[in-house]
Chain A
Amino acid sequence: MLRVRFHGRGGQGIKTASQVLGTAAFLSGFQAQDFPLYGAERRGAPIVAFTRIDKEPILERGPVAFPDLILVGDETLLEDSQAAPACGADALTTLLVNSTKAPNSLKDKLNLLTMPVTCGLTKLCLKHLNAGMILSTALAAAAARLTGLIPLNHLLEAVEIELAEFSPEQLQKNLDLVREVFELLNPVVFQEREEAGLFPSKLMALEQQEVRDAAPLITATGNMNLRKTGNWRIHRPEIDYEECNHCMICYARCPEGVIKEDAEGKPEIDYDHCKGCMICAQECPKHAIKTLWEMDYEHQSQ
């Protein structure tokens, strides 16, 4: 069985990537299963999706802990300890990162056992789709090619099925993109994982605790500090203080409560937690809040 795991952010087409790969594998005569993992998250939050491909019926369900192939759509996730895209990677795992960096620099940084593959998918998506962060078909094409199991015609057919609701022009652009990604990469040889013997879990019997420890009680306030949601941002609000008249409407409207009033009475955005919903920009009567692309901003600041 080949187990594939996709990492990216909500809105980047990670679930669709896993589904295009699933359908392509199915059309190529394999058993396939795909499954996205998302709960209460939203756009911008780290998302994982999985595809399993096998000749035999698939007797697994749920998340893939030990993937043969990992695809990381968003480089910024490599640093995110909660997304932990390299988790479960071993000497048999191939990791592809949407990046223009040199593979060995990532290998060292992530302590990988194998040399990762890097591929600048964002640039290709920009070229074909005019949108650098809609990665669904590009990631699926990369995965399909790396597996070496899926011929191009089945991949293209899968794209047509999964993007059936797209306009003919949009579909064609995706097909061109898929073709280019497919031709750019080379298949990897995957080794079948040897099945380790089972060993018993260390089951334990819980003891009764006092009710304050036994009930789902949260007594520590302010623990959002530990969960930096700033990296969910695709867009970045930036206040133009020349224009701002300190009306503080943005402060009142921010659903995350991450705009505060500084000592001089000016609004200040906490970028560690701002999720980039851009409601503040919509609400600002002076149009003083600019919408930047987080990616562009990062490049500028580097």
Chain B
Amino acid sequence: MNINRSNKRMLTGNKAAAWGARLAGVEYVPAFPITPQTEIVETLSQWFAGGTLKGKFTNMDSEHSMFMAAGSAAATGVRVFTASSSQGILYGMESLYTVTGWRVPFVMVNVSRGLATPITLEADHNDVMSTRDCGLIQLHAETCQEILDFVLMGYKIAEHPLVSVPVLVNMDGFVLSFSREPVVIPDEKSARDFLPAFQPAQPVFQASLPMARASAVFGGGTYTYFRIQQDLAVRQAETVFNETAVEFADRFGRHYEPLERFHLDDAEVVFVMSNSFATKGKSAVLRLRKQGVKAGLLKIRMFRPFPDEAVANALKGRAKVAVIDQNLAPGMGGITYPEIVAAMYGRDDCPQKILSVIGGLGGKDIKENDFLSIVEKLNDPESKGPVFLYDEGDWKQFQQMQKIAQL
């Protein structure tokens, strides 16, 4: 029976991530479950148990040991995959900083979910943004196809001799992790040709070769040397991403850049977005254009390294820009907004207005009408950010809840 027509089938974001790992031929998966990520490691565990994947799948006792195990295994020269979300990422944070400093490559997926408190299961990006400064390379996916492709490309980038840094692929919980859409699954042979077995360019742990990785250094100078090296390696990943993307496109026909430009060429109003809600942004752009607003969208796929030159080139000469953050740094605002503004700093073709907008917190929908409100704010010379996408309906709903919750 023809189960997949031309290798395309309906996959959730989670299954797409698992397929990426499968096609990469991962050899070790340390795992710990957390909603909405669990389907990824569940799927992989079945493939290991059934013999589809050769190697070892281990249930860990926490995310802290899970990331440590991922880094340690990568330091022995095997190909490692792992996944987490939200509180799990926070719990493993110490290990994340530790293993990125080891300069070992692996790929992890984060399925975004808002952080407690209050507790939620639905998506926003405070979890992934908390790993922004860990020294990870970060690729954010809008579609299930991007997830699979970024995991495959992720290994190529992470394992590049000039990079040797873990890659994080991000997707939104629920809206993408549980949504199915048609995904092209590359055949195993082409995947293997694109991504041959992992050949570490550096010494790896072996019984016959004693070595230390977590060296202690004092006085700051040596510390600074290693940190600058880390910075250079992560920056190098942009060039490597672009090279990898060309090779990927040659083989699979899908070409990715660190940024995606949607109706940007003649746009006067630009929304800067990332992840699955960028789809909604694109739809809003098309509808706004029907109403005579020359809108466009800039989607950021790569957050680390931050492609500042590319961002500046994409936004130069645009009249008005709204940076929509699905995250909040209380007391400051949107986390990516200052990065966009800094990319434009000192350029004479800088947009007249760059507004910080915060929406989609805890999975709250960003409605198409909200985009028109953003346009109004951009056109209002008095408006200041951050503008929260919070309306009278939300307030009424909250008051109802409050009545039930409070005496």
> A residues within 8 Å of B by Cβ?
19, 22-23, 26-27, 31-37, 39-40, 58-63, 157, 160-161, 164, 195, 197-206, 212-213, 216-220, 223, 226
Q: Which of A157, A200, A206 gathers the greatest number of chain B CB atoms within 10 Å?
A: A200
**Stretch of B89-97, B130-138, B188-196, B272-280 with 4 or more beta carbons under 8 angstroms from chain A:** B272-280
Other A-B pairs beyond A60-B280, A200-B372, 15, CB < 8 Å: A23-B10, A31-B181, A31-B182, A34-B10, A34-B180, A200-B376, A201-B373, A203-B388, A206-B388, A206-B395, A213-B402, A216-B117, A216-B118, A219-B406, A220-B404
B280 — which chain A residues lie within 8 A by C-beta? 59-61
In the assembled complex, the Cα of A99 lies from the Cα of B406 at a distance in Å of 40
B68 within 8 A of A: no
B263 within 8 A of A: no
The answer to whether A27 and B179 touch across the interface, beta carbons within 8 angstroms, is: no
The answer to whether A220 and B406 touch across the interface, beta carbons within 8 angstroms, is: yes
- The total of interchain contacts (Cβ-Cβ below 8 angstroms) comes to 120
A19 — which chain B residues lie within 8 A by C-beta? 10, 180
The main secondary structure of chain B at its interface with chain A is mixed
The answer to whether B390 and A198 touch across the interface, beta carbons within 8 angstroms, is: no
In the assembled complex, the Cα of A97 lies from the Cα of B80 at a distance in Å of 48
A39 — which chain B residues lie within 8 A by C-beta? 121-122
Interface magnitude class on chain B: 35 or more
A36 — which chain B residues lie within 8 A by C-beta? 178
The main secondary structure of chain A at its interface with chain B is loop
> B residues within 8 Å of A by Cβ?
1-3, 5, 8-10, 117-118, 121-122, 174-176, 178-182, 276-277, 279-280, 282-284, 286-288, 290-291, 365, 367-373, 376-377, 387-393, 395, 402, 404-407
Complex partner residue of B390 from A35, A61, A204, A223, CB under 8 angstroms: A204
The answer to whether B389 and A32 touch across the interface, beta carbons within 8 angstroms, is: no
The answer to whether B369 and A22 touch across the interface, beta carbons within 8 angstroms, is: no
A23 — which chain B residues lie within 8 A by C-beta? 9-10
Complex partner residue of A219 from B178, B367, B395, B405, CB under 8 angstroms: B405
B373 — which chain A residues lie within 8 A by C-beta? 200-201, 203
Complex partner residue of A33 from B179, B365, B388, CB under 8 angstroms: B179
Complex partner residue of A60 from B5, B283, B291, CB under 8 angstroms: B283
